[in-house]
Chains A and B, each alone.
Chain A
Amino acid sequence: MISITVNGRAVEAEEGESILQAVRRAGISIPTLCYIDGLPPTGACRMCVVELEGDGRLVPSCSFPVAPGMKILTHSPSAISARKTIVELLLANHPDDCLYCARNGSCELQGYALELGVRQRRYSGSRNDWKMDQSSPAIVRDPDKCILCGKCVRVCEEIQGVACIDFIGRGSKAHIGTAFDEGLNVSSCINCGQCIKVCPTGALTEKSSIQKVMDALNDPTKTVVVQHAPSISVTIAEEFGMKPGIDAADVMTAALRRMGFDRVFDTSFSADLTIMEEASELVQRITKGGKLPMMTSCSPGWIKFVEQFYPQLLGNLSTCKSPQQMLGAVIKHYWAQREGIDPRNVFSVSIMPCTAKKFEAGRPEMLHDGIPDIDAVLTTRELAQVIKTFGLDLASMSGEPADTPFGDRSSAGKLFGASGGVMEAAVRTAHYLITGKELDLPRINAIRGLDGIKEASVNVAGTEVKVAVVSGLGNARKLLDQIVAGRNDLHFIEIMTCPGGCISGGGQPVHTDPEVLKARMQALYNIDKDATMRTSHSNPSIQRIYKEFLGEPGGHLSHELLHTHYAERDVLR
C-alpha cells in the first residue's frame, strides 16, 4: 500500500492501480464516459482528468498510475472547467431531442450536463448528420447521438470477440460503423446487445416491438399469449426503482394479465422441456457415439457466432431449439389445438433478457407450416415501459400464479437465467436418465458464479463426465480454439453469449456493476435452494406433454417441432 493525498486528505492506494480506482474506493466520484471496469483504459473521453497539485497538470485518472506522495485535486477549478467544456463540446454536436430519447433520464451525458451545471449552448456550429441504422432486427444505431466513447467497440471486440464495429473516418467526421459502413444486418453483429448496455447515450437501443404487441392486444381476433424468460422475474423490479435481486414473478404475471394478455406462460417450463431433449441428446451422443463435446444451443448470439466464426463446430451444437422457440412451437401446435384455436390467430409474445432473441424469432428455421413460433419479442426494458404505459405499479400489486399448462416449472429450468444453469439442470436430468437415480447433491458449485470459463467433472454411474461452462463469447473463443486445436476431454459445454448469462443480457436493465449481477444471480440460486421441484424430469406438466403429445424425448414430433439445424453463414468479418 502507498499513501497519496486526495483533496488534502490522505488516501491509501495499491501500487500499480490507477488514480481513479484509488479515488473511487475513497468514496469520491469522478465522472467517466469511456471507462469500463475490468478492461484496460483507453483514455478517450478525458472526463476523468484530475489536477496534479504543484505542476497544475491535468491527467486522466483512469489510466494514470498512483505514485507515492502524489497529491491530487479531483475537483479543482481547472478540472471542473475542463469537464464542463468537454460536456459542452459534446452537446454542441448532439441532437437537442432528449425528450424523444429512449435514454431520457438514464443518459450519462445528460446526467453529467446536469451535475456540471451546463445551462446554455456555449458552442454552436455544424452538427454531424448521420443516417440511423435500423437494418438490424435487434439493434438500432443512431450515430447522431454517439459521443464516440468507444465502449461498444471494445465490448464487441474485447468481451465478445466479435469486433463487428470500429471507428471509421478522421476528425469530426469520425464515427462508429461496420465493415464498409454497411448495415448491422449484413455485418458480423451477433445481436447480443452488450453494446447497448455500455452505451452512455441513446446511440444504441433495441429495435422496439412494443407497437406490434400493443396492436395485437387491441386486436379482438387474436389470442395473445406471453411467456417470460427465467431471468426476467429477477431483474424487472429494478426498472421500478427496487433493489436488485428481487423475484417478481407473480406480480409480473398479474401485470401481464392486466395488460390484456390472454395467457401468461413461463419460459422456464420450456427450459425444462429443453433439458429433457438436450439431456437425452447428450446421453445418446455419449452412449451411441455422436459428436462430442456437445454444445448448448439456447443462446441465439452464440448460434450466429458459431455460424460465422466456427462453422466447423456446427455439428457439435445440440440440435435443440432454444426454450423460447420450443415454447413458441408447442403453444401454436399443441396448446392451440387443445384449446381449439387456429394457430394463425394466436399471437405469441416472449419477454426476453436478450436482443438476439428478436433475431432468433425471425429466423427462417423457426417457421413451421409458414407459422412463426414467436410473433414478437420484448426485452425486459421494453416490458417495463409497457407496464408503465398501462399505469401499473409493480410495488403495490399482488401476485398471481402463471397459467397452466406452461406455467409449471422446476427450479432447474429457472436456473437457465444464470451462466451454468443449463449445465446444472442438464446434469441433474442426465444423471437420472442414465442411472434412474437423482444426484445426491443437486447443486454443482464449480459451475456457479460469474467466472468466464468454469469446468467440472461429474461422476455418472462410474463415468467421469467432463463439462465446461462459458459465458461471454471472448471467453468462448479461448475454449473453442483449444477444441479446434485438438482438445478432446470434454463431453458437454454450456455457452452463453453474455458474460454471466441471461441475467446480464443485452435486453436487461442497463447496469454494468458486477454487484448488481451477483444479486440477480443469487436471486435465481435462492429460488432453486427453496424449491421442492428441482429437476426438469420431475415436472408433472413436462411428463404430461410427453404423454399426451410428444411421445418421448428425441421422438419424431420432438424433432419436427423442437429441434433444428444451422448452417455456415458468410458475413463480412
Chain B
Amino acid sequence: MMPGLMDIKCCDKCWNSSSKVCPESVECIKEGPLCHEDKDCGNARLSRVNEFLREDVAAPVIFVGTGTCGIGAGAGKTVQAVKAWIAEKKINASVVEVGCVGACFLEPLMDVQLPGRPRLSFSEVTEKNAAKILDSVMAGTVPAGNLIGQYDSPSGKLQPWPGVAPISSHPFFAKQTRWVLRNCGLIDPTSLDEYLAHGGYRAYTKVLRSMTPAEVCDQMEKSGLRGRGGGGFPTGRKWKVALNSPSEQKYMICNADEGDPGAFMDRAVIEGDPHRVIEGIAIAAYAIGASQAYFYIRAEYPLAIQRLRTAIAQARERGLLGRNIFDSGADLDIKIKMGAGAFVCGEETALMNSIEGRRGMPRPRPPYPAVSGLFGKPSAINNVETLANVPDIIWNGADWFSSIGTEGSKGTKVFALSGKVSHTGLVEVAMGTSLQDIIMEIGGGVPDGKAFKAVQIGGPSGGCIPSQHLDLEIDYESLKKFGAMMGSGGLVVMDEANCMVDVARFFMDFIQRESCGKCIPCREGTRRMLEILDAITTGRRDEKGHQSLERFKGVINLEQLGTVIKKTSLCGLGQTAPNPVLSTLRWFRDEYEAHVYERKCPAKQCKSLLAFSIDHEKCVGCGLCTKACPSDAILGAKKSPHHIVPERCIGCGSCMEACPIGAVSAE
C-alpha cells in the first residue's frame, strides 16, 4: 500500500501509525499538527496535502468526465483517444477519470492542467478532436472552439492563461452555490486521499472524538437541514427521535433509490464524490446510535455502485468503518443493497421491506421508521443529498449552513435541469433562488427561440409552475403553495410546444405503472385517471360506442377522484400521484377545456385530436403526401391540389412530414 495522507508523520512527536491510530490524525492532515506546535511540521503536512489537492501539478494531467452521463456522451472513447495521444507523444502525463461537474450539455468534458498553469476545461471533446486540443494546449495556445474556461488559482501562484475567462464566470456556473457538488467532476472519486486532501472525514473523526450523539443531532437541527429526498422533514429532528428510541440495534439507511424521471443528482454525487456520502452516513449512524448502515441503491446505477464499493473498501481498510473506529468505541459497517428498480422502493417503508427481502410495498405510518423501522428496529433513513450535506455542517457549523437560504429552508439544493432548456445538467443553488435565475440564467433559457410555458418540479409527485410565476423563489413552502413540491429536485422545462394535458398524462402513466398495487385508491384510481386523460386526448374518430359519453363522465369525475386519491392513499407515492393532474388543471384549465369542449389540442401534441388539411393555394400536386398516407385518405390528380378525406384520416401526420412545401396544416 502506498503511504497516503493518513500515514503522514511529521516528526517523532507524532505517534500515529496504522497499527495504533491517533484519533486526531484525520483532522491533523490539514489542520495539524494538533498535538504540538511546529511550523515546519505544518508545512510538511500541507505539501503532502497539496499533491492531492492538485492546485499545481508536476506533470500534465488530463481529466475526463466519465460519469454515466459522460460515458453516454462518448467520454469512454475520449479517454481512449487521450491515452493513445499520450502514448504516441511519449509524454509524462496522466489521465484522471472524474465524475460529472454537472454541465451535461457540454459533455464529453476534458480538463487539461499543465505544471504552473491553472486547469483548463473543454467541452464536447470526442475521440476526433481530443488530440488536436491537447496538441494545441501543449504548444501553449488555447483553442477557442471547445473552451469553457479556466479554473481559479486559490493561492494566486499559478500563471493564468491569457484571454481565457474564469470558469466561475460561465453563465452555467456563475449563479451556482456548489456545496454538495463541490468536489464533483474535480477530484478522482476512486482516491480516498483526494477526498482527505479536500478536508474529508475530519468532520466524522471530530464527531467521534469530541461530540455526543445528542450534540450532533442538536447541531443538525440548529442548521435547519431538511430532507432533500422529497418530504423536507428536519433531519436533526428525525435523528433525535431515532436516538431517543431505545434499542440494542438500530439502523442507518441511505436512500439512493432515485426514481423520479429526470432526476440524477444522487447518482452524480455518488459517482463523483462517494466518500462524502459515506462520511455523512457515518456521522448519522453515530448520531442515532446505529452500528449497521444500509445503502439502498438502484441496480440501474452500476457505476455508482462500483464507486461506492471501492470507497467503502477504502474506508474499511483505513479503519474509518469497522469496529471501534478511531478508538472511539463506535462500530459501523455499511452494506450495499441493490434495488430492482421499482419507483415505490424510494418510499422509506417500502424500501425497508425491500431490504428485509420482502416485496417493496409501503407500511402504514405510524409507527414511523425512527421508532420501528428496518427489522422492527429504530431506523433513520436519509437521502443521498441530505447526507452529503452533513460533513460540512459539522465542520463549518450550523450557523455557516443556515447563513444562506430562506426562513424555513436553509442551505442549497441540487436540481436536475432537463427538458426544453439550453443547459441541461445538475445545478446547485442557494435555497430561495428564483426559477427565473435557474432556468433563464443558469439554464440558458428555452432553446430555438420558443416561449417558456411551465416547469415541472418534483417529478411525478410534484406539480408545474407556469410562466407567470417564474419569479418564484424556490423553497419547500413556496412550492407547496403553488401546488408543487421540492421532491428530489427534478426540473423539467416545458415550452409552448408542450401540451399540458399530455404532460399530465405522461406522469399519470408513469405513476399507475409504478403503483405497487397495495392500496386501492392508488392502484385503481390512478388507472382510471389515466384512462380519463387518454379519453380527453383521443379524437372522435377513434372513439367507439358509448366512449364519448364515458369521456364526459370521466371529466366530471377527474378532480374528485384526484382529491380522494390524495387524501386516502397509503404512501407518499399515492398521496402525490394526482398532483400533475391537479396542478395542470389549476394553471392550464383552458387547455383541458380546449381538449374537452373543442376537441382540440392547442399545442398540437395530441395527434389524435388534430384535423389535417391541405392548403389548396399552396399545394402543387406532387403526390408525396398520397404516397406517405398509410390509410389512403388523400385524393387528388397529379399536379392539381390534393384533398384529405377526414373520415379516412387516422391522424398520423405522415402527410405533414412528407409535404416538401408545407401545404399540410393541422388544427
- Please tell me if the beta carbons of A86 and B521 are within 8 angstroms of each other in the complex: yes
Number of residues of chain A lying within 8 A (CB) of chain B: 40
Contact B564 A147 (CB under 8 A): no
Segment 107-166 of B: residues with Cβ below 8 Å from A: none
Highest count of chain A CB atoms <10 Å: which of B344, B518, B557: B518
Contact B567 A44 (CB under 8 A): no
Inter-chain CA distance A224–B531, complex, in Å, is 56
Could you say which residues of chain B place their CB within 8 Å of the CB of A150?
518
- Inter-subunit contact A41/B531 (CB<8 Å): no
When the two chains form their complex, are residues B364 and A41 in contact, meaning their CB atoms are under 8 A apart?
A: yes
Which chain A residues lie closer than 8 Å to B560 at the CB level? 81, 85
| Interface hit among B413-421, B484-492, B508-516, B600-608 | B508-516
Q: Which residues of A contact B344 (CB under 8 A)?
A: 170
Nearest CB of chain B from residue A573's CB, rounded to whole Å: 15
Instruction: Report the stretch among B209-217, B522-530, B642-650 that lies at the interface.
Output: B522-530
Q: Which of B359, B526, B568, B569 contacts A171 (CB 8 A)?
A: B526
Residues of B within 8 A of A41 (CB): 364
Would you call B550 an interface residue if the criterion is a C-beta within 8 Å of the partner chain's C-beta atoms? Answer: yes
Q: What are the residues of chain A within 8 A of B568 when measuring CB–CB? A: 46, 49, 58, 82, 86
The digit string for A53-86, where 1 denotes a CB below 8 A from any CB of B, is: 0000110101111000000000000100110011
Q: Which residues of B contact A81 (CB under 8 A)?
A: 560, 564
- Residues of chain A within 8 A (CB-CB) of B531 are 125-126
Q: How far is it, in angstroms, between the C-alpha of A49 and the C-alpha of B520 when the chains are bound? A: 12
Give the residues in chain B near A82, CB-CB below 8 Å: 521, 564, 567-568
- Give the residues in chain B near A43, CB-CB below 8 Å: 363-364, 519, 570
Measured in the bound complex, the distance between the Cα atoms of B553 and A82 in whole Å is 18
Given contacts A43-B364, A123-B528, whether A171 and B570 have CB atoms under 8 Å apart is no
Q: Does B361 contact A (CB under 8 A)?
A: yes
| Docked pose: A85 CA to B519 CA in angstroms | 13
- Decide yes or no whether B171 CB sits under 8 A from chain A: no
Bound Cα distance A60, B568 (Å): 8
Q: For chains A and B in complex, what number of residue pairs have CB atoms within 8 angstroms?
A: 117
The yes or no answer to A566 lying at the interface (CB within 8 A) is no
**A46/B520 in contact, CB under 8 A:** yes
Contact with A along B563-575 (1 / 0, CB 8 A): 0100111100000
Residue ID in chain A nearest B358 by CB atoms:
A166
Assess whether B366 is in contact with A65, with CB atoms less than 8 Å apart. Answer: yes
B361–A167 contact, CB under 8 A?
yes
A203: min CB distance to chain B, Å? 15
B4 located at the interface, meaning its Cβ lies under 8 Å from any Cβ of chain A in the complex: no
Q: Which of A307-351 contact B (CB under 8 A)?
A: none
Within B78-105, the residues touching A (CB, 8 Å) are none
A341 to B512, CA, bound (A): 64
A9 at interface by CB-CB < 8 Å: no
Tell yes or no: A148 within 8 A of B by CB: yes
**Quick one: given A63-B364, A150-B518, are A89 and B528 in contact (CB under 8 Å)?**
yes
The answer to whether A148 and B550 touch (CB under 8 A), given A49-B568, A58-B567, A81-B564, is no
CB distance from B447 to the nearest CB of A (A): 34
Which chain B residues in 356-405 approach chain A with CB under 8 Å?
A: 359, 361, 363-364, 366
- Whether B526 pairs with A44 at a CB distance below 8 angstroms is no
Q: Does B660 contact A (CB under 8 A)?
A: no
Shortest CB distance A507–B (Å): 29
A169 and B517: CB pair below 8 A? Answer: yes
- Distance in angstroms between the alpha carbons of A223 and B528 in the assembled complex: 56
Chain B nearest Cβ from A148, distance in angstroms: 6
Cα–Cα, bound, A147→B517 (Å): 10
Asked, given contacts A41-B364, A44-B518, whether A174 binds B528 with beta carbons under 8 Å apart, the answer is no
CA distance A60 to B512 in the complex (A): 22
Question: Which residue of the partner chain B has the closest CB to A171?
Answer: B515
User: Per-residue 0/1 for A169-189: is the Cβ within 8 Å of any B Cβ (1 yes, 0 no)?
Assistant: 111111000000000000000
Interface residue A45 (Cβ < 8 Å from any Cβ of B): yes
Give bound CA distance, A147 to B518, whole Å: 10
- Complex interface: chain A residues within 8 A of B526 (CB): 171-172
- Chain A contact residues, CB within 8 Å of chain B: 41-47, 49, 57-58, 60, 62-65, 78, 81-82, 85-86, 89-90, 92-93, 122-126, 147-148, 150, 166-167, 169-174
Task: Please give 9 more A-B residue pairs, beta carbons under 8 A apart, in addition to A42-B518, A167-B518.
Answer: A44-B519, A81-B560, A82-B568, A86-B564, A92-B528, A125-B527, A171-B514, A171-B526, A174-B516
14 A-B contact pairs sorted by A residue (CB < 8 Å): A43-B519, A46-B520, A58-B568, A60-B364, A63-B364, A64-B364, A86-B520, A93-B527, A124-B553, A147-B520, A167-B361, A170-B515, A171-B513, A171-B517
Closest 4 CB pairs of A and B: A174-B517, A43-B364, A89-B524, A63-B364
